[in-house]
Structure 1
Amino acid sequence: MKKALAAEFIGTFWLVLGGCGSAVLAAAFPQLGIGLLGVSLAFGLTVLTMAYAVGPVSGGHFNPAVSVGLWVGGRFPAASLLPYVIAQVAGAVAAGGVLALIATGKPGFDLVASGFASNGYGEHSPGGYSLLAALVAEVVLTALFILIILGTTAKRAATAMAPMAIGLALTLIHLISIPVTNTSVNPARSTGVALFVGGWAIEQLWLFWVAPVVGGALGALLYRVTLDEENSRA
């Protein structure tokens, strides 16, 4: 268990440092040209690379919503759920701290004013989207993300390619929802940067726990009811 928790800490650390770091450090400079596509790819690549690197040790969740989804989907023991979530959040917060240290090395950089890649709705949504729009986007996209994870890691699937499919799915999710919420689908990722912004980011953080966790559970239930041949007698 200790090695699995270490793997989850490291994997989530890399996700936040790589994904949020690309948004905070690179996307802030238009001349570098990474934009929406670059940030989306960065998040997908963090999951893809760590799924191959430490996935064999912990399963490569790096996300409380994924752990909940795998538990609901019958692929993960309940006893490991809380330790995994704690390790994921700790990794995300550690990455947020490292990213804050790097970002504030630029004279004049303001963590609060920059938003620090935090997730938000209403006036804090990149595109000004409402609470309802943010809720729907986060629930639906997380549900489909979990369905993809369960499908690509099923016994009948080509599981060696699963990290590629999962990483590309996360990239697509970001392409869809960065304008809406700055894309969470991961409560640890949201927490890891919101703590350094405070104020509105903390006040709105509840949504980015509730929606991904609900979406993860719904995605797992959808998979079990419609697609899961391993647990089906039909």
Structure 2
Amino acid sequence: MNLLANVSPRSTSKQSTVELHVVAASGEFVGTFMFLFLAFCGHKMAVQTQPGNANGPDGTNDNSTVVYIALAYGFSLLVTAWAMYRVSGGLFNPAVTLGLVLTGHVPAVRGLILLVPQLLGAICAAGIVAAIIPGPTSIVQTTLNSSMNSAQGVFLEMFLTSMLVYTVIMLAGEKSKDTYIAPVGIGLALFVCEVAGVFYTGASLNPVRSFGPCVVGMNFQSYHWIYWVGPFLGALVSAGYYGFVKYFNYEQANPGQDSTGGGLEGEES
């Protein structure tokens, strides 16, 4: 017997703004948790199954392990964002949230509310992975390559995050005929950014992704701040460029991209 078969949605006329914020917050907690739980599990597996003689310089991950780690994060985001975007927007990232608030796609109050469940989701994901998957939590911490300094790490995190946030703004924030498959593009954006950055900074691109394992492992590196400053700067960069192209009507610079027919130069058939 299906106990939920006859459950009817509550009347929208009875729902308050506070209740809607709570629903969205629940979606961000569940989505952030599942995104990072799956990603941390994949990350640990990739490192622990790496052949002992396949390490890169200074004991770093070899290139094939970097690709596996990137796949774990990129495809985990793709699946979880697609599952949750109709509930909360599928943000799971304070930097993404900031970018959407600055561009007017998410109200500032909602953005502040979503920070807490994102933090809690990340901590819970790291804690449960630490409890049920063998191996130290340090495996999934974001670490700065010994050849990199903090300034280099900040700027790499900034540029990588700007790519991710801009992708979210243009595919999900700006509505178009492609919006329904935005999670695919967003997941692939994270994947390519992870490939570019895992070896050097751990490719956080998300403050709570770095924060959760540090809390659970009770180990905050002296340079942990770069995983907050870099992603937030990336959000500012992407929001700034979006504001520039939006002000100058980017739709007119390359017309016809949302044409539903075979017409040219924006003509609808």
Range into which the TM-score falls when normalised by the shorter chain: 0.7 to 0.9
Q: Distance in 1 between matches of 2:25 and 2:245?
A: 32
Letter in 2 for 1:93: I
Instruction: Give 1:24 shift.
Output: 1.9
Q: Can you list the C-alpha shifts for 1:203-233, whole angstroms capped at 9, x where unaligned?
A: 3221111110121122111112125677999
CA distance in 1, matches of 2:247, 2:232: 20
Give the aligned partner of residue 20 of structure 1: 40
The answer to whether the aligner puts 1:146 opposite 2:165 as a matched pair is: yes
Matched with 2:85 is 55
2:148 aligned counterpart, secondary structure: coil
Counterpart secondary structure, 2:142: coil
Per-residue deviation at 1:188? 0.8
Aligned mate of 1:78, from 105, 108, 112: 108
| Bigger relative CO (Cα 8 Å, ≥ 6 apart) | 1
Correspondence list, 1:71-220, <5 A: 71-103=101-133, 106=134, 109-111=135-137, 115-121=138-144, 125=145, 128-153=147-172, 154-199=174-219, 201-220=220-239
Equivalent position amino acid for 2:160 in 1: L
Distance 2:33 2:72 in 1: 13
Unaligned runs of 5+ in 1: none
Partner residue in 2 for 1:42? 72
* RMSD after superposition: 2.3
Q: SS of 1:76's equivalent?
A: coil
- 1: CA distance between counterparts of 2:34 and 2:248? 33
Cα distance in 2 for partners of 1:232, 1:162 equals 18
Tell which structure's C-alpha radius of gyration is larger: 2
TM-score w.r.t. the length of structure 1 is 0.86
Distance (whole Å) between structure 2 residues aligned to residue 10 and residue 228 of structure 1: 36
Tell me if the contact between 1:44 and 1:169 (Cα under 8 Å) persists in the aligned partners. yes
